[in-house]
Amino acid sequence: ASENPELPDTLSKTKNKIAFIGPGAIAMDVLGDKISSSILAESAGVPTMPWSGSGLRCSGVDISEELYQRACVNDEESALLSAAQIGYLLMIKASEGGGGKGIRKVSNDNELRLGFAQVKAEVPGSPIFLMKLASQSRHLEVQVVADHHGNAVALYSRDCSVQRRHQKIIEEGPVCVAPREIVEEMEQAAVRLTKSVGYAGAGTVEYLYDSGKYYFLELNPRLQVEHPVSEWITNCNIPAIQLNIAMGISLNNIPDIRRFYGREAFGDDVIDFETSKPLPPNGHVIACRITAENPEEGFQPTCGSVVELTFRNTPSVWGYFSIRSQGAIHAFSDSQFGHIFAHGPTREEARKAMVTALAELQIRGDICTTAEYLQTLIHLDDYVKNDFTTSWLD
């Protein structure tokens, strides 16, 4: 429901005009769709990877059906023609896919035929598009918040490059693999894109970063589970900011945003967000997702009882879990049942805090978890040196 434009549209038509804490229906519709958002990104001057809709432009949020269909590959024949123009290696993507579903990497025509059929079956009815594969890229993203008065700001950035099955397992922020001037460009591009469609609320603009260049990937028109990373480095309570925005309050008058820009929390001066600089990030945060999966079996989900779950919060570590001791993970649960966040003045100090947190985490029961696997990962030289890509675990 959080990404279904029918919800804000229906709420706005109620007798009391119930406010949706998130973007409006139009912005959600065009930005929540991977194809529409890529067309909008190109139109807003945000770099994109070569894809089946390269070169297409629109005015405002007006994307005609004819323009949209030109970016899609609707059958095997059109997919092969588009692949010949873009060149292999490629990703086949379902616009309505996510969480690792509806996505395939292909390296030739035969793999494309098979992958196209698989994506089509995994996400029935979804439009499909092709995108050039950036095989040695980092997955970087910018947290944005925007109000109903035309203001938008970036609450710094996150690095979510450590993934398995195209899903994040470690997130951290702020981004330190790219030069600060490049990260600022990414943040400005994210703000430009959200403002171009009248976006309001919290959202995440995702990029691929490769060889000093960044490319738009998608925009998630909602709050993501890793948002505490951004909250800890900015001292901003993002759900509270969302509520203020939904009430019609300008970013200029939201205390956390004002503090973020070094202003008095309840002052009345107007902040020029285009020229004003926020305070530096508050240290570094690393987050690990705890999932009920078996790393030795290709991260297959597991289910069963949990006899004991022991975790201790400290000043530098915070975490939450959706189950307790004597609980259970059932077969229809999402595999993620916990999230741990570690803070430090530097990336290395945050990493050490996470090492301790994972070592002290106790989970006993019928399920397998990724806790020990994550301990191994964050000890590896590539992770310690921040030298890895999205293909690191393949």
Catalytic residue numbers? 222
Q: Are 354 and 371 in contact (CB under 8 A)?
A: no
d(CA 293, CA 370): 6
Instruction: Provide the 10 A C-beta neighbour count for residue 357.
Output: 24
Say whether 349 sits in a helix, a strand or coil. helix
3-state helix, strand, coil in the chain (%, to 5): 30, 30, 40
Instruction: Provide the 10 A C-beta neighbour count for residue 93.
Output: 26
Q: What phi and psi values does residue 258 have, to the nearest 5 degrees?
A: -65, -45
Q: Which DSSP category does 296 fall into?
A: G
Instruction: Provide the 10 A C-beta neighbour count for residue 274.
Output: 10
Written as one string, the DSSP assignment of 186-247 is HHHHHHHHHHHTT--EEEEEEEEEETTEEEEEEEE-S--TTHHHHHHHHT--HHHHHHHHHT
Instruction: Provide the 10 A C-beta neighbour count for residue 324.
Output: 9
E strand or H helix at 122, and its extent?
helix 109-122
Nearest CA-CA partner of 221 in 10, 13, 371, 24: 24
Q: Which pair of structure tokens corresponds to residue 25? A: 């229906």
Q: How far apart are the first and last CA of the chain?
A: 32
d(CA 63, CA 44): 13
